[in-house]
Chains A and B, each alone.
Chain A
Amino acid sequence: MKKILSLTLVFTLILAMSVGCSSGNAPSQAGSDGSAHESSPAGSAESSAEPGEKVVLDMLWFADGAETEAMQHIIDDYQALNPNVQINLLEVPYDEMTNKIMMSVVGGEPPALARTTESILSACYDATLDLAEYVDDIDGVLAQFMPSIHNYFVINDKVTALPTDVTANGMIYNKTAFDKAGVTVPATPDDIWTWDEFVTALEKVKADGGVQFGMVIDNPSHRWSTMLYQFGGHFLGEDGPAFNSPETIQALTFTKELFDKEIVPKSTWLGGEDPNNMFRSGQVAVHLSGNWMLTNYRDNIKDFEWGVTYMPKAKNRSSTPGGKQLAAFGGSGVEKEAVDFILYATSQEANAKYCVESLFLSPRLDNAKLDYPFGKEHFEVFANELEHTVPDASFDWGYPDFAGVARTPQNEGMYEMIAGNITPEDHAANMEKVLEELYQ
């Protein structure tokens, strides 16, 4: 009996091991979740689906607000038009998105589609399809989108994705606190404050408006770069780094003073406290963030009134544009269907529906005026900020590998500067060296 038992055990183990080890040799399927796709084995160059055969596309997705539901509606519409296509939205936290795409690609099971940002594309553009190879009139398609954001998704002449929305950095303010302090924010672009006037206003709101701090800034890289561009600085030039300039040092010095005067709480950058939470809890007068926060604040702020105002200017007025795109990946086996969906989702009608439902700005030139159900006046401010954005902003953030190379040293250098361990001049010089790598 014991012999039978031990033999059975050995047999079971060997079987389990062989099944486990052989899974890599099984015909792999398109998509990243291992779900069954009746067509299109991985590795085939394009769709191998027979006419009428069901095709399943996995789309890796992250969300800031209400856009998941909006995208699901676009998918539903597309599936109604294409009954043989099924698109699965697979939600992944934004911080894990790049790793998830990379691991899927390296593991031989790339997703059919993924939502991306310029940072994600900067890391993964090797694995995306070149949409120019799938679309006859790619120049005509590109001409439908804002030219200022083309270099976010056209990387080294490869059309890696198409944009679904464009973001603008801007300022959201605690209206209740400003009213209480008797401070009126600029109502039109003609009334815009200088940074010095803005700081004076913040000090008054901090003193009389019932808030602890004047302002929070999301992070020292993308969001802070808005201030950099307003002061006339920028990261990159045509032929080399351009960060170590008097304008940059002025922006850095001004930023450090904001922290030293406790207008901006050090705890947000140095202590890991969440700027969103601090603003939402009514402790802060202004949040330098972007239009993607509108749905979040609409749904979550109940204790005070808030609004969107124009950012102050220094040498320039400027925002920092950003955005999200849809990319398709090589080796999914459903490339044609993936590209077809991207073209559908970024078409005028579908994109308008998506942006209105999500409260996003459209990257399409023919969707400049959308009928938003909430906060039309807020969108006008953000759109105005985008119109006045300096070209350096999209040049920097769209430069291949810029986000990957610059973000961590920029964040760490700013932390050290705010903590007083290095000077603004040190940080500018250090970053200049880091950025040189991009030109080698």
Chain B
Amino acid sequence: MKKIKKKKGITSLEMKLFPYLLILPNLFIFAAFIAVPALFGAYFSLNKWSGMSAPVFVGLDNYVRAFHDVKFWQSFGRTLVYVLISLPFIMGIPLFLANLMIKEIRAKGMFRALFYWPSMISYIIVGISFKFMFGDNTGIINYLLSLMGKAKVEWLTQGTTAMFVVILATIWARTGFYMVTYISGLQSIPLSYYEAAEVDGASPIQGFFKITLPLLKPTTFLVLILSFIDLFKAYGLVLALTKGGPGTSTKFVVQYIYEAAFDGKREMGYASALSMILLVVMATFTLLQFKANKGGEIE
């Protein structure tokens, strides 16, 4: 008599374990490159350490010094100005473009690719490219102005114009990425809602404010958090474009921390304390945004 082999199903234990197994590689990467270094950072923040000699435990001295470090808080203030000015543009322009890109227009794919392209370019390359464009004496824009008989603009040697160029470069570099995020959010809104609204006599603008924006809230919240953190960490683009100048006009907080650690006196312990403060401030802002937006839930 032929035995029929009983097919064994997946046990409940396997069902529980399997998702954890799948996130294990990412967990390993997260632990190796983020969590463990962060723990080391927390430890070094309590030490005086140049990176070469043995760390010397100094307790909270680095934190006390940081709270009295005027230059650190000035760079923090500049970063905040940069974030607050850039954020509305970095959220608004991609949303506007995403609205256009979901409509049935000619060469839609080409436009999507064109707008997305800059976000694939390294920040360093973006910075160098904008420097080629906005350089006072070697930039294309001033050259074109001179051909038109106009006076050259000191784009990168005046604090205000340099900040403007940095913000412009940031918006150009990040718009494509957030546009794609918004497109996926917009495409998940059922068309029937708009059709029903149209039947009820709602205008397109009313449709946008009454249907699109409320239903897009989870995506908007995601873009808000991602762009906020991204902007606060700005470093590569600014370094390549202005090196934090003129003077310290565009020196943001991450550059200040980097210089504390790797330039000049190489105060790794102090720089670690500054990083911890930045971490706490960013976590607090994110938490406040989370609370204010109710975690991006649709009401």
Expressed in whole angstroms, the Cα–Cα distance for A265 and B139 within the complex equals: 14
Tell whether, in the assembled complex, residue B247 and residue A415 are in contact, meaning their CB atoms are under 8 Å apart.
yes
8 Å CB contact of B155 from A271, A281, A415: A271
Kindly list chain B residues whose C-beta atoms are within 8 Å of the C-beta of A213. 137
Residues 243-284 of B, flagged 1 when their CB comes within 8 A of A and 0 if not, give 101111000000000010011111000000000000000000
Residues 43-80 of B, flagged 1 when their CB comes within 8 A of A and 0 if not, give 00000000111000000000000000000000000000
Tell whether, in the assembled complex, residue B138 and residue A277 are in contact, meaning their CB atoms are under 8 Å apart.
yes
8 Å CB contact of B52 from A124, A270, A407: A124
Kindly list chain B residues whose C-beta atoms are within 8 Å of the C-beta of A277. 138
8 Å CB contact of A6 from B17, B51, B138, B242: B17
B35 at the interface (CB under 8 A from A): no
B24 at the interface (CB under 8 A from A): yes
Tell whether, in the assembled complex, residue B246 and residue A270 are in contact, meaning their CB atoms are under 8 Å apart.
yes
8 Å CB contact of B136 from A3, A102, A265: A265
Tell whether, in the assembled complex, residue A106 and residue B52 are in contact, meaning their CB atoms are under 8 Å apart.
yes
Kindly list chain B residues whose C-beta atoms are within 8 Å of the C-beta of A2. 10, 14
Interface window among A9-17, A37-45, A361-369: A9-17
Tell whether, in the assembled complex, residue B246 and residue A408 are in contact, meaning their CB atoms are under 8 Å apart.
no
Tell whether, in the assembled complex, residue A416 and residue B247 are in contact, meaning their CB atoms are under 8 Å apart.
yes
Min CB–CB distance A7 → chain B (angstroms): 10
- Determine the interface band of chain B, counting residues with CB < 8 A from chain A: 35 or more
Tell whether, in the assembled complex, residue B245 and residue A270 are in contact, meaning their CB atoms are under 8 Å apart.
yes
B157 at the interface (CB under 8 A from A): yes
Kindly list chain B residues whose C-beta atoms are within 8 Å of the C-beta of A6. 14, 17-18, 21
Expressed in whole angstroms, the Cα–Cα distance for A124 and B50 within the complex equals: 10
A183 at the interface (CB under 8 A from B): no
Tell whether, in the assembled complex, residue B263 and residue A408 are in contact, meaning their CB atoms are under 8 Å apart.
yes
B135 at the interface (CB under 8 A from A): yes
Kindly list chain A residues whose C-beta atoms are within 8 Å of the C-beta of B242. 271-272
Kindly list chain B residues whose C-beta atoms are within 8 Å of the C-beta of A273. 135-138, 156
**Which residues in window 120-148 of A have CB below 8 A to B?**
123-124, 126-127
Tell whether, in the assembled complex, residue B247 and residue A9 are in contact, meaning their CB atoms are under 8 Å apart.
no
B190 at the interface (CB under 8 A from A): no
Task: Name, among A2, A102, A267, the residue most crowded by chain B CB atoms within 10 Å (CB to CB).
Answer: A267
A199 at the interface (CB under 8 A from B): no
B25 at the interface (CB under 8 A from A): yes
**Which residues in window 1-30 of A have CB below 8 A to B?**
2-3, 6, 9-10, 13, 16-17, 20
Tell whether, in the assembled complex, residue B259 and residue A20 are in contact, meaning their CB atoms are under 8 Å apart.
no
A212 at the interface (CB under 8 A from B): yes
Kindly list chain A residues whose C-beta atoms are within 8 Å of the C-beta of B53. 126
Tell whether, in the assembled complex, residue B28 and residue A266 are in contact, meaning their CB atoms are under 8 Å apart.
no
Kindly list chain B residues whose C-beta atoms are within 8 Å of the C-beta of A278. 137-138
Expressed in whole angstroms, the Cα–Cα distance for A128 and B136 within the complex equals: 43
Residues 93-135 of B, flagged 1 when their CB comes within 8 A of A and 0 if not, give 0000000000000000000000000000000000000010001
Kindly list chain A residues whose C-beta atoms are within 8 Å of the C-beta of B52. 102, 105-106, 123-124, 126-127
A83 at the interface (CB under 8 A from B): no
B288 at the interface (CB under 8 A from A): no
Expressed in whole angstroms, the Cα–Cα distance for A421 and B159 within the complex equals: 11
Tell whether, in the assembled complex, residue A99 and residue B137 are in contact, meaning their CB atoms are under 8 Å apart.
no
Asked whether A13 and B21 contact (CB < 8 A) given A271-B246, A281-B138, A404-B266, the answer is yes
Minimum CB distance partner of B161 in chain A: A271
**Which residues in window 345-381 of A have CB below 8 A to B?**
none
Task: Name, among A17, A20, A127, A272, the residue most crowded by chain B CB atoms within 10 Å (CB to CB).
Answer: A272
A419 at the interface (CB under 8 A from B): yes
Kindly list chain A residues whose C-beta atoms are within 8 Å of the C-beta of B241. 272
Expressed in whole angstroms, the Cα–Cα distance for A401 and B8 within the complex equals: 71
Task: Name, among A10, A126, A271, the residue most crowded by chain B CB atoms within 10 Å (CB to CB).
Answer: A271
A208 at the interface (CB under 8 A from B): no
Task: Name, among A105, A212, A415, A421, the residue most crowded by chain B CB atoms within 10 Å (CB to CB).
Answer: A415
Main secondary structure of the interface of B (DSSP, over half): loop
Question: Using a Cβ cutoff of 8 Å, how many contacts connect chains A and B?
Answer: 103
Expressed in whole angstroms, the Cα–Cα distance for A270 and B249 within the complex equals: 10
Minimum CB distance partner of A417 in chain B: B247
A289 at the interface (CB under 8 A from B): no
B298 at the interface (CB under 8 A from A): no
Kindly list chain A residues whose C-beta atoms are within 8 Å of the C-beta of B265. 401, 404-405
Min CB–CB distance B36 → chain A (angstroms): 11
Tell whether, in the assembled complex, residue A270 and residue B156 are in contact, meaning their CB atoms are under 8 Å apart.
yes
Minimum CB distance partner of A407 in chain B: B264
A283 at the interface (CB under 8 A from B): yes
Minimum CB distance partner of A422 in chain B: B247
Expressed in whole angstroms, the Cα–Cα distance for A185 and B155 within the complex equals: 34
Tell whether, in the assembled complex, residue A99 and residue B24 are in contact, meaning their CB atoms are under 8 Å apart.
no
Asked whether A17 and B28 contact (CB < 8 A) given A265-B137, A267-B156, A408-B264, the answer is yes
Asked whether A267 and B157 contact (CB < 8 A) given A405-B265, A416-B247, A419-B247, the answer is yes
Tell whether, in the assembled complex, residue A415 and residue B10 are in contact, meaning their CB atoms are under 8 Å apart.
no
Tell whether, in the assembled complex, residue A271 and residue B136 are in contact, meaning their CB atoms are under 8 Å apart.
yes
Kindly list chain A residues whose C-beta atoms are within 8 Å of the C-beta of B8. 3
Kindly list chain A residues whose C-beta atoms are within 8 Å of the C-beta of B81. none
A46 at the interface (CB under 8 A from B): no
Expressed in whole angstroms, the Cα–Cα distance for A269 and B242 within the complex equals: 10
Kindly list chain A residues whose C-beta atoms are within 8 Å of the C-beta of B10. 2
Kindly list chain B residues whose C-beta atoms are within 8 Å of the C-beta of A106. 51-52
Tell whether, in the assembled complex, residue A272 and residue B243 are in contact, meaning their CB atoms are under 8 Å apart.
yes
Tell whether, in the assembled complex, residue A272 and residue B264 are in contact, meaning their CB atoms are under 8 Å apart.
no
Asked whether A271 and B21 contact (CB < 8 A) given A6-B14, A408-B264, A415-B247, the answer is no
A247 at the interface (CB under 8 A from B): no
Task: Name, among A106, A123, A401, the residue most crowded by chain B CB atoms within 10 Å (CB to CB).
Answer: A123
Tell whether, in the assembled complex, residue B14 and residue A10 are in contact, meaning their CB atoms are under 8 Å apart.
no
Residues 135-170 of B, flagged 1 when their CB comes within 8 A of A and 0 if not, give 111100000000000000011110100100000000
10 pairs of residues in contact across A and B, judged by CB atoms under 8 Å: A6-B21, A13-B28, A16-B28, A270-B156, A271-B245, A273-B138, A273-B156, A405-B265, A415-B246, A419-B246
Residues of B that sit less than 8 Å from A by CB: 8, 10, 14, 17-18, 21, 24-25, 28, 32, 51-53, 131, 135-138, 154-157, 159, 162, 241-243, 245-248, 259, 262-266
The 4 closest A-B pairs by CB, nearest first: A271-B156, A270-B246, A267-B136, A270-B157
